[in-house]
Structure 1
Amino acid sequence: MKFKQICSATLITGLCLMLVSGCNAPKTAKIKIGGNFELTGEIAEFGIMGENGAKLAIKEANENGGVLKRQIEYISADNQSNAAESTAATTKLVTQDKVIAIIGSMTNANTLAAIPVASANNVLLITPTSTDESITVGDEGLNKWVFRSCFINTFQGEIAASYVLNTLNVSKAALIIDQNGTYAKSLAVGFQDTFEKAGKQIVASEEYTFGQDTDFRVMLAEIKAQDPDVIFVPGWANQAGAIIKQAREMGLDTVFLGGDGWGTGPISDIAGKTALNNAYYVDQVALDDPVLADFAAAYKKEYGQDADMFAALGYDAANMIITAIEQANSMDTEKIREALENLTDFQGITGTITVNPATHNPEKSAAILKFVGGQKVFAARVDLQ
């Protein structure tokens, strides 16, 4: 009798364990997505905002039932704004945490340091803000496992030219380029190619040296003599601000145009509010664009601060991964990679995104901001025409 009781108890216990295991398995089998962000170090401000955007997207997805009926587990790693630490962070996420995808990093160097580890382990990597062309297409061709939610530098130049051609109806342009800056040169190439293909003329092209030149009056005098309709300055905020200030002091009231580097510093303080009238720049997103209203409100509620471009791109990067998993209907990283590579008409907050399979770059709209009383104001969303 005692033997039967022991057997019965054992059987019941076993059945209970099987039932508990069966009930809990779908709930505990989470989808692991990693984040490799600059959470400390010199560019922590950008990394924190990017990660916040990604975490908000994942939180919203989980609240809506997750993906493939599973919750997403986000695992954070800090690369300390350092390339060597980015490699270490990626190694941990891949080998220890067993993530199927990684969001980050925010800089070209930190993203490039992560690529070999992610690629060798067939783990997807999507960067919100690394714009260098070699991130997705290197010397050996397409980086199969690497994607981005931002557009590349050359594309910014193309958008800038498209805007002034089709909205401002200009026919003559001048360029002022940082001669040592790959960022500025890439934007300038995109602008000049698009502008000249439209049958318009580049009447002057001047160069300066970042960190050395502070007086731009000689080159501005040369440009003024050519009477351009627009001056394209694809540099950073400090230099662009000084160039515009000196141009206005010389009576040069031409339209000025730049890239997203203008948003990296206090350009209004340097140029002066009045000097920036009739000035525009291309950016990944404008936070006062009505399309971003719901995201901006949700971000403010979650983190108690305003969102920015980095947060918006982190949000889109996470949602691109989530959408690819849904469309693949699989946890197999190769199938997810194929879905992401063929992603079309994805409704991101930074634009409607279609991934180019040949480059893994997003084809999307860009924001044009203009200055009104020294403040950056959303002017338009622009697609290449």
Structure 2
Amino acid sequence: MVKTRVLTSILAVVMTTLVLFTGCAQTSESQNEIKIGLNYELSGAAASYGQDTLNGVLMAIDEINAAGGVLGKKITYVKLDNKTDPAESTSVATRLATKENVSIILGPATTGATKASIPVADKNKVPLISASATADDVTVDAKGVKEYAYRICFNDSFQGTVMANFASKNLNAKNAVVLMDNSSDYGKGLAKNFTDTFAKNGGTIAAQEAFVKDEKDFSAILTKIKDKNFDILLIAGYYNEAGLIIKQARALGIDKPVLGGDGLDSPVLGELAGKTALNKVYFSNHYSSLDKDPVIVKFMEEFKNKNNKDPNAFNALGYDLGYFAADAIKRANSSEPGKIKEALDNTTDFKGVTGKFSIDKNHNPVKTAVVIELKDGVQSSSVKVEP
């Protein structure tokens, strides 16, 4: 019995020593790493957005680690699929913030999944940054600024301001017609900010008409505007309806320049409108492959070498997001989430592939946008427009 007790005591000491040793090993390992969480749509309806953004993020992380990491530490990550489902995104964010104890969460890509994750970030005081959630109320709503939510893309209504400035200053437009998707916040925000800014620039709104998602026949509203005095036509909506509007407008003899937001950026636009209808068409975007900036050219070459395809806007935004997170950690001189948040709040003149920007009081970037011109359905030129 005594021998048994002695043996038990010895085993207890050994086990305690092993636990302590293991704990020390884990602490030592964690001291050489900075863990971040990746919450992305890797399956479901928006899988292409999530995967493209993730590919950009991972390329940035690989480059950062190859150059020595951040604060002398390697960046490691926990990558989880939110399945393009808001409820799943909430669960993923919870796991990253509480069980994985990450320093920062990158993603999701879509507005719905991002908004579902933000309460988790706020509750657990872990910064969350989206590269591509554009809805106006992602970072600030009627209750105020969402303390731990950030983004590096411009918001929906901002594009209205950009396109109004482009219409006034680049196209010398004085009169505009606005066709608005009245069933989406995107369309309404784009239209409102366009009309407000265009008026401030001295322009006049000759007419404003509304349509709704999935509408197919636009002959009635196009006939109403055909004889109006206007220089440009703004379509505040997505490519599904915009393609048909442009096709039907050209068929009616409306040959005025057509403007839109990033919702027009899709090859489906050409399929719906027909390439010959897509002349004098301009839309705002986050990035242009036509840009000859050495930073963009280098990124394009390296991305194509790594992925065997040309990068799109989501790839570019994801790439910027990876470097943006690393920049905040470096400036914070810490992997502690609260200190990273302070660094994010004080971001000025961060330079990325999608432009140079600072973070404003609403946790949005103040940055230039790119306006792309289509000729026969092909991107032919791009110009940067200041906000």
TM over 0.5: yes
Instruction: Select 1:114's aligned residue among 109, 114, 117.
Output: 117
Corresponding residue for residue 190 of structure 2: 187
Shift of 1:58: 0.9
Distance 2:122 2:68 in 1: 30
Q: CA deviation at 1:26?
A: 7.3
Query: In 2, distance between residues paired with 1:39 and 1:335?
Result: 30
The letter for the 2-side match of 1:235 is: G
User: C-alpha distance in 1, partners of 2:227/2:376?
Assistant: 28
Matched residue, 1:301:
305
How far is 1:366 from its partner? Answer: 0.7
- Please give the per-residue CA displacement for 1:311-353, whole angstroms capped at 9, x wherever unaligned: 1111112211111111111222222111111111110110111
Gaps of 5+ in 1: 1-13
Distance 2:69 2:168 in 1: 44
Structure 1 position 25, deviation (Å): 3.6
Count, aligned residues: 364
Alignment match, 1:341: 345
In percent, how many aligned pairs have the same letter? Answer: 38
CA-CA distance at 1:28 after TM superposition: 5.4
**Partner letter of residue 139 of structure 2?**
T
CA distance in 1, matches of 2:159, 2:244: 22
SS for the counterpart of 2:210 is: strand
Identify the residue that residue 35 of structure 1 maps to in structure 2. Answer: 38
SS in 2 for 1:193: helix
- Counterpart mapping for 1:1-385 below 5 A: 25=28, 29-211=32-214, 213-291=215-293, 292-356=296-360, 358-384=361-387
- Contact kept? 1:58, 1:74, Cα under 8 Å: no
Give, in angstroms, the shift of residue 306 of structure 1: 2.3
- 8 Å contact kept, 2:52–2:315: yes
- Cα displacement string for residues 162-219 of structure 1 (whole angstroms, at most 9, x for unaligned residues): 11111111100000011111111110011011000112100000111211x3221221
RMSD: 1.9
Q: Are 2:165 and 2:201, in contact at CA under 8 Å, matched by a contact in 1?
A: no
Q: Equivalents in 2 of 1:113, 1:50: separation in Å? A: 18
Q: Which residue number corresponds to residue 4 of structure 1?
A: none
Q: CA deviation at 1:27?
A: 8.1
Task: Please report how far the alpha carbon of residue 265 of structure 1 lies from its aligned counterpart in structure 2 after TM superposition.
Answer: 4.6
User: How far apart are the structure 2 equivalents of 1:27 and 1:297?
Assistant: 34
SS of aligned partner of 2:157: helix
**Pair 86,27 (structure 1): closer, same or farther in 2 beyond 3 Å:** closer
**SS across alignment from 1:232:** strand
The answer for the alignment partner of 1:11 in structure 2 is none
CA contact (8 A) 1:238 1:265 kept: no
Report the Cα distance in structure 1 between the residues aligned to 2:308 and 2:277, rounded to whole angstroms: 33
Kept in 1, the 8 Å contact 2:277–2:376? The answer is no
Asked if 2 retains the 8 angstrom alpha-carbon contact of 1:26 and 1:70, the reply is: no
TM-score by length of 2: 0.90
**Cα deviation digits, residues 356-382 of structure 1 (max 9, x gap):** 0x2100010111111122112332011
Q: Which amino acid aligns with 2:370?
A: A
Distance in 1 (CA, whole Å) between partners of 2:306 and 2:341 is 30
Alignment deviations for residues 285-315 of structure 1 (CA, whole Å, 9 cap, x no partner): 1122223211122222222222111111111
8 Å contact kept, 1:236–1:264: no
List structure 1 runs of 4+ shifted beyond 3 angstroms: 24-28
1:352, 1:48 → 2: CA distance? Answer: 24
Q: Which runs of 5+ in 2 are unaligned?
A: 1-16
String of CA shifts for 1:104-137, please: whole Å, max 9, x gaps. 0111111111111111111110011111122111
Amino acid at match of 2:306: E
Q: Structure 2 vs 1, CA of residues 75 and 214 (structure 1 numbering), >3 Å: closer, same or farther?
A: same
Q: For each residue in 1:17-71, what CA deviation from the matched residue of structure 2 results, as whole angstroms up to 9, or x when unmatched? A: 99xx89x947852000110000011111110001111111111111111111111
Which has the larger displacement, 185-194 or 303-312? 303-312
Contact 1:122 1:334 in 2 (8 A): yes
User: Greater CA deviation, 279-288 or 189-198?
Assistant: 279-288
* Amino acid of the structure 2 residue aligned with 1:227: N
The one-letter code of the counterpart of 2:159 is Q
Q: Distance in 1 between matches of 2:324 and 2:345?
A: 10
Give the Cα separation in 2 of the matches to 1:26 and 1:64: 19
CA distance in 1 between partners of 2:111 and 2:117 (Å): 10
Query: 2: CA distance between counterparts of 1:127 and 1:293?
Result: 24
CA distance in 1 between counterparts of 2:340 and 2:76 reads 17
In 2, Cα distance between the equivalents of 1:227 and 1:215?
23
